[in-house]
């Protein structure tokens, strides 16, 4: 089960363990649905065809562009 960082537009943030297919939780402060990002302390090991160093770099760079808050 991955560790996610959850953020809300109202400024509230939280870190939770949540199954991948579960819906994002509501914000306890304002009640709106929070946004999800994979926690910063996650290590992903790629194997097989997708594990080439160039592909890992491409995936990392794409993720950082989409989620600059992870840096």
Count of structural domains within the chain: 1
Res 42: pLDDT: 57
Domain that holds residue 49: 3-70
pLDDT, one tens digit per residue, over 9-47 is: 999 998 888 888 889 999 999 999 999 887 666 556 656
- pLDDT value of residue 45: 61
| The pLDDT value given to residue 48 | 58
What's the rounded Cα separation, in Å, for the pair 30 and 64?
A: 28
The answer for residues whose C-beta is within 8 angstroms of residue 33's C-beta and 6 or more apart is 23, 24, 25, 26, 27
DSSP β-bridge partners for residue 16: 4
Q: What is the pLDDT of residue 62?
A: 76
pLDDT at position 28, please? 93
pLDDT of residue 57: 73
């Amino acid at each position: 089960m991955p560790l996610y960082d959850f953020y809300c537009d109202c400024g509230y943030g939280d870190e939770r363990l949540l199954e991948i297919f579960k819906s994002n939780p509501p914000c306890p402060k304002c009640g709106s649905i929070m946004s999800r990002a994979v926690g910063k302390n996650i290590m992903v090991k790629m194997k097989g065809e997708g594990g080439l160093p160039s592909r890992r770099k491409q995936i990392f760079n794409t993720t950082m562009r989409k989620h600059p808050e992870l840096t």
